[in-house]
């Protein structure tokens, strides 16, 4: 393989890792710091992506305005989800949030007039017309790409440009979240994770903070959704399958919860497991076709989860005292 | 003056009346004890006072304001703090963070204040860190300030709970079995702290414990519960001599003869 | 009117399958406090074992059913020894168990994908044979499903009510520490619970695959949330409640499409009906219809 081709491929993997970093960071705030078992996280991503696409294609909004609105709508959705469900016990909360997320996915599949239906946003502009909300983004990306070309020459392809953009945002968000967690606000979140009754007895309005954690997580997931939409031009409800939430959880647990900097590590590791197995041209992988390799990947992810729970609950980088899988 | 007052408070669980019309008064600046045999309803009453359980009947007044049915955090903001029978240390946070958390009026706990007024956030944080370290010194845990609270022994966690409770700046502290599992020298220290805090800061302590000797020696006022009701209240001597109290602890000796 | 009866009949078919799945989930939850997220894939496992027997080896569908039950029961027991017991010994908490279940679901489902095929499969039964019972039309598969489902329900009800094992299970579900003190062999009862839950999952999987006419390994997850909804509706930890909850939910799902109800919900939204029931019950009456209000 020529260097360019493999660079392209790994740039693509890097973009996915970056998107998942932002998504998993949202989960880190909700689950790693506050202890909320939100299993409908992918729905926030979907709400962010779809809101932006619908506003641009159907309402003619400019891209940046639509993106901000998308984040706001996702936050709103998070509050809507949280208000009735946050008082539920942990395992009930988990099931309820999955149910919510599935409702979102079903609506996305069936409300064809609104969302383009099962084929996704390509059908947003109606039958026969291919919708595109990407124009403004592609222009912006082009200008960044031109700038990059000055620095790295012909390696500045679309995927590499996207890589830089996604990771720039991811790193900013990581810094912000890390700073937020070290504040008194972050301290309250951590106390809720450890013992919400104790936190409550010490004067903290636990419910309000849980809502805030949910809202912040939703905003981050929406940003991940936006990048997903920009990267892939078109997306469909199947892209926001519960599997996506499970992947995000795998990343958070792999890195060791309560450790923000472990999230990108987990995401990159995850990206490598996922994409890297494509190129393993030796047995036993060479015996499997691409469809079968996809199944093997998922089996591996499942075994990783089980293995982590059984043998290393603090994750790869976590400390035993901060174990969340207890 | 009465700081905490309960009037005819009742709560059932399933078919069982855990608290069955209890009325009591805790005077300001006192060390008051709540005693009674197991199952008398003492912990349930504590849960009602601190807002974890809503009573079915009756009222609870803190400083003449009704607090029954209010959530725990609201009750705490009004000046009542409670400790738990099994200490609830925040295990994955440091000892210092446990105490810092308890401080009231922290602008840094609000997202918008973090962005809008970072200066006052920092100032308050410095203030409470000083206070927190002082409290930790009081309970001899200052050397362990950076340790994870989860690594503390049972007795140390009790002390941490005590320090944390004081940090909330309360008017009344409800202590649920503060001496259980604590070594005698430590227990004596705690009692000394309670007396000192009552004198110097005007705090009120309301404690539940099974160590009757200790309770009688430290309390100004003793309230006795049995089967969900208050059956006696008075000074330790008065209560000790009360035949109803003797009955409650020793069984139905009196009644059988009756 | 016939439309109503038709929908009700369909509802009973769906409902009884959900009920059987739900009993297994409820028993496991009641005793182990595990929300077995992988349960849908136990169903899939059973369905595909049956497929192997029925289509792969040309066995009769009844033989395939027996194989499904046996294999999934074995799976249930095997996983107890390989996964759940070690986790319990390590003091795994709620979240750990949930994540382990998700991992297990991924593994089970995709092993089936790997060994079976991704394309929709179906059993070797006559799909065109339809019976007309007073205006209500039911396919052969549906009738088989109802027959087997109701037999299974009766058997389970009998097992729980009359046998020593059933009583142990109910005692354990009610109060674990008390049951252990009362001399019940906790470990053995737990294994049997998994065997029963597994066997029931095998039946449910087979029946669901049967009435779906064409199925892929994804059908288990699609049925999982309705199963949870049935468990929650009936009352978590109550096996009888799960049975009733399943039947009621099946009826509600089918009847929601009745056009006398303001046009009726579009049939694609039937799962949404199940999800909504789940959410509403948890919000309004978390202990379900038959459950005890636990002091959480």
Convert the pLDDT of each residue in C115-156 to its tens digit.
887 888 888 877 778 888 777 888 888 888 888 888 888 888
CA of B105 to nearest chain A CA: how many angstroms apart? Answer: 10
Convert the pLDDT of each residue in B116-162 to its tens digit.
999 999 999 999 999 999 999 988 899 999 999 989 988 889 899 99
Binding partners of A (≥3 Cβ pairs within 8 A): B, C
Region B4-12 average pLDDT? 92
Residues of A in contact with B105 (CB under 8 A): none
How far, in Å, are A97, C60, C143 from residue C126 at the CA level?
40, 12, 12
- Does A206 sit within 8 Å of B73, measured CB to CB? yes
Nearest residue of chain A to residue C103 (CA atoms): A302
Q: Return mean pLDDT, chain A.
A: 85
Q: Tell whether B131 and B75 lie within a shared domain.
A: no
Question: Which of B52, B90, B119, B123 is best to mutate for the A interface (most A CBs within 10 A)?
Answer: B90
Q: Tell whether B84 and B209 lie within a shared domain.
A: yes
Q: A residues 294-313 near C, CB within 8 Å?
A: 295-296, 298-299, 301-306, 308-310, 313
- In DSSP terms, B16 is beta-bridged to B13
Query: Quick one: angle between helices C2-32 and C164-174, nearest 10?
Result: 70
DSSP element (H, E) containing B187: helix B184-201
Q: Tell whether B130 and B33 lie within a shared domain.
A: no
pLDDT of residue C58: 86
pLDDT of residue A2: 46
- Does A100 sit within 8 Å of C92, measured CB to CB? no
For residue B65, the SS3 value is: strand
Convert the pLDDT of each residue in B39-94 to its tens digit.
788 989 999 999 999 999 999 999 999 999 999 999 999 999 999 988 999 988 99
Q: Among A22, A12, A48, which Cα is nearest to A162's?
A: A12
Prediction ipTM score: 0.89
For residue B86, the SS3 value is: coil
How far, in Å, are A6, A171, B5, C222 from residue A14 at the CA level?
12, 13, 64, 32
Q: What's the number of domains chain B is made of?
A: 2
Please report the beta strands in A7-118, taking only residues with DSSP state E, as ranges in sequence order: none
Look at residue B249 and tell me whether its pLDDT is greater than 80.
Answer: no
Spatial distance between the Cα atoms of A313 and C93, rounded to a whole number of angstroms: 11
pLDDT of residue C67: 93
Q: C residues 182-241 near A, CB within 8 Å?
A: 221, 225, 228-229, 232
CA of A9 to nearest chain C CA: how many angstroms apart? Answer: 26
Q: What is the CA radius of gyration of chain B?
A: 19
Contact A48, A56 (CB under 8 A): no
Spatial distance between the Cα atoms of A83 and A211, rounded to a whole number of angstroms: 7
Residues contacting A246, CB < 8 A, separation 6+: A301, A305, C102, C106
Q: Tell whether B80 and B188 lie within a shared domain.
A: yes
Tokens linked to A124: 């947003």
Tokens linked to A188: 């309250």
Question: Which of A91, A108, A300, A307 is best to mutate for the C interface (most C CBs within 10 A)?
Answer: A91
Q: Say which residue the tokens 């093997």 belong to.
A: A296
Tokens linked to C180: 């252990």
Greater confidence (C174 vs C282) lies with C282
Q: What does residue B62 show for φ and ψ, rounded to 5 degrees?
A: -115, 115
Q: Cα–chain-centroid distance for residue C282? A: 19
Residues of A in contact with B97 (CB under 8 A): 187, 190
Tokens linked to A121: 């946003």
CA of B79 to nearest chain A CA: how many angstroms apart? Answer: 10
Q: What is the 3-state secondary structure (H, E, C) of A234-277?
A: CCCHHHHCHHHHHHHHHHHHHHCCCCCCHHHHHHHHHHHHHHHH
How far, in Å, are A128, C115, C119, C208, C213 from residue C65 at the CA level?
47, 19, 22, 12, 16
The closest CB to that of A96, out of C100, C109, C279, belongs to C279
Nearest residue of chain B to residue A322 (CA atoms): B92
Convert the pLDDT of each residue in C166-205 to its tens digit.
888 877 776 666 777 777 788 888 899 999 999 999 999 9
Q: Tell whether B243 and B116 lie within a shared domain.
A: no
Convert the pLDDT of each residue in C42-90 to its tens digit.
999 999 999 999 888 888 888 888 999 999 999 999 999 999 999 888 8
pLDDT of residue A315: 67
Q: Tell whether B85 and B174 lie within a shared domain.
A: yes
Q: Tell whether B116 and B197 lie within a shared domain.
A: no
- Does B84 sit within 8 Å of A202, measured CB to CB? no
**Which residues span the domain enclosing B138?**
92-151
Q: Tell whether B61 and B173 lie within a shared domain.
A: yes
Burial of A290 (0-12, 13-18, 19+ CB in 10 A): exposed
Q: Tell whether B114 and B208 lie within a shared domain.
A: no
**Helix, strand, coil fractions of chain C, as percent rounded to 5:** 75, 5, 25
Question: Of B104, B126, B151, which residue sits at a domain end?
Answer: B151
**Other residues' Cβ atoms within 10 Å of the Cβ of residue B208:** 23
> Is the bond preceding A284 in cis, omega lying within 30 degrees of 0?
yes
Instruction: Report if residue B96 sits inside a domain.
Output: yes
Instruction: Report if residue B156 sits inside a domain.
Output: no
| Number of residues written out for chain A | 326
Q: What is the CATH number for B218?
A: 3.40.50.300
Contact C21, C196 (CB under 8 A): no
Contact C213, C144 (CB under 8 A): no
Q: Tell whether B25 and B42 lie within a shared domain.
A: yes
Residues of A in contact with C94 (CB under 8 A): 90-91
Look at residue A104 and tell me whether its pLDDT is greater than 60.
Answer: yes
CB-facing half-sphere around the CA of B212: CA atoms within 13 A: 12
Q: Tell whether B101 and B142 lie within a shared domain.
A: yes
């Amino acid at each position: 393989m020529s260097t360019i081709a493999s660079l392209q491929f790994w740039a693509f993997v890097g973009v996915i890792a970056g998107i998942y970093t932002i998504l998993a960071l949202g989960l880190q705030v909700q689950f790693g710091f506050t202890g909320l078992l939100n299993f409908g996280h992918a729905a926030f991503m979907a709400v962010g992506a779809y809101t932006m696409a619908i506003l641009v294609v159907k309402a003619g909004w400019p891209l940046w305005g639509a993106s901000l609105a998308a984040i706001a709508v996702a936050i709103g959705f998070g509050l809507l989800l949280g208000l009735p469900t946050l008082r539920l016990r942990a395992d009930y909360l988990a099931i309820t949030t999955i149910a919510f997320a599935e409702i979102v996915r079903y609506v996305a599949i069936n409300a064809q007039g609104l969302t383009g239906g099962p084929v996704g946003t390509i059908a947003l502009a109606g039958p026969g017309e291919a919708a595109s909300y990407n124009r403004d983004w592609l222009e912006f990306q082009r200008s960044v790409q031109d700038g990059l070309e000055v620095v790295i020459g012909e390696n500045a392809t679309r995927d590499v440009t996207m890589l830089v953009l996604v990771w720039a945002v991811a790193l900013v968000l990581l810094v912000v979240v890390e700073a937020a967690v070290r504040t008194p606000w972050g301290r309250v979140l951590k106390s809720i994770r450890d013992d919400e009754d104790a936190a409550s007895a010490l004067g903290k309005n636990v419910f309000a903070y849980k809502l805030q954690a949910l809202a912040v997580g939703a905003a981050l997931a929406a940003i991940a959704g936006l990048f997903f939409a920009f990267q892939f031009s078109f997306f469909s409800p199947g892209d926001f399958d519960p599997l996506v939430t499970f992947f995000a959880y795998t990343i958070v647990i792999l890195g060791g919860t309560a450790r923000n900097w472990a999230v990108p590590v987990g995401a990159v590791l995850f990206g490598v497991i996922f994409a890297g197995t494509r190129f393993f041209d030796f047995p036993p992988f060479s015996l499997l076709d691409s469809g079968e390799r996809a199944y093997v990947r998922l089996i591996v992810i499942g075994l990783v989860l089980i293995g982590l729970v059984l043998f290393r609950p603090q994750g790869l980088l976590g400390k035993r005292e901060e174990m969340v899988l207890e | 003056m009465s700081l905490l007052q309960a009037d005819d408070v009742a709560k059932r669980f399933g078919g069982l009346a855990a608290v069955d019309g209890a009325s009591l008064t805790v005077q300001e600046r006192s060390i008051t004890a709540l005693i009674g045999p197991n199952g008398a309803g003492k912990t349930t009453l504590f849960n009602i006072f601190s807002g974890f359980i809503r009573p079915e009947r009756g009222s609870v007044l803190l400083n003449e304001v009704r607090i029954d049915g209010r959530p725990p955090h609201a009750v705490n903001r009004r000046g009542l703090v409670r400790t738990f029978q099994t200490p609830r240390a925040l295990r994955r946070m440091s000892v210092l963070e446990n105490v810092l958390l308890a401080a009231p009026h922290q602008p840094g706990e609000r997202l918008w204040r973090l962005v809008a007024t970072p200066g006052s956030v920092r100032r308050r944080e410095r203030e409470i860190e000083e206070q927190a370290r002082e409290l930790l010194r009081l309970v001899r845990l200052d050397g362990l300030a950076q340790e994870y609270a989860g690594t503390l022994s049972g007795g140390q966690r009790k002390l941490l709970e005590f320090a944390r409770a004081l940090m909330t700046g309360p008017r009344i502290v409800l202590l649920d079995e503060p001496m259980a599992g604590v070594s005698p020298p430590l227990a004596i220290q705690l009692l000394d702290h309670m007396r000192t805090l009552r004198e110097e800061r005007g705090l009120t302590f309301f404690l539940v414990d099974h160590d009757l000797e200790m309770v009688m020696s430290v309390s100004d006022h003793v309230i006795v519960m049995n089967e969900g009701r208050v059956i006696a209240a008075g000074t330790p001597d008065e209560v000790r001599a009360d035949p109803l109290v003797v009955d409650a602890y020793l069984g139905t000796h009196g009644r059988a003869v009756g | 009117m016939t439309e109503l009866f038709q929908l009700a009949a369909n509802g009973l078919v769906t409902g009884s399958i959900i009920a059987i799945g739900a009993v297994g989930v409820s028993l496991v939850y009641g005793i182990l406090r595990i929300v077995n997220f992988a349960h849908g894939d136990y169903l899939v496992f059973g369905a595909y074992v049956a497929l192997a027997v029925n289509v792969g080896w040309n066995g009769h569908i009844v033989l395939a059913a027996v194989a499904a039950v046996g294999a999934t029961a074995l799976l249930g027991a095997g996983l107890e020894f390989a996964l759940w017991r070690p986790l319990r010994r390590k003091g795994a908490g709620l979240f750990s168990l949930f994540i382990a279940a998700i991992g297990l679901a991924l593994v089970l489902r995709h092993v089936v994908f790997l060994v079976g095929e991704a394309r929709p499969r179906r059993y070797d039964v006559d799909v065109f044979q339809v019976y007309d019972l007073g205006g209500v039309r039911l396919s052969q598969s549906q009738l088989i499903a109802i027959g087997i489902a109701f037999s299974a329900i009766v058997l389970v009800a009998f097992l729980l009510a009359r046998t020593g094992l059933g009583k142990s299970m109910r005692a354990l579900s009610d109060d674990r520490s008390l049951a252990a003190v009362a001399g019940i062999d906790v470990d053995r009862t737990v294994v049997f619970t998994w065997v029963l839950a597994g066997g029931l999952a095998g039946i449910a999987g087979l029946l669901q695959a049967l009435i779906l006419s064409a199925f892929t390994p994804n059908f288990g997850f699609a049925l999982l949330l309705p199963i949870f909804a049935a468990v929650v509706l009936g009352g978590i930890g109550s096996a009888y409640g799960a049975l009733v909850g399943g039947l009621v939910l099946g009826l509600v799902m089918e009847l929601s499409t009745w056009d006398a109800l303001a046009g009726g919900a579009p049939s694609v939204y039937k799962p949404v009906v199940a999800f909504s029931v789940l959410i509403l019950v948890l919000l309004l009456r978390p202990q379900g219809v038959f459950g005890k209000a636990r002091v959480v």
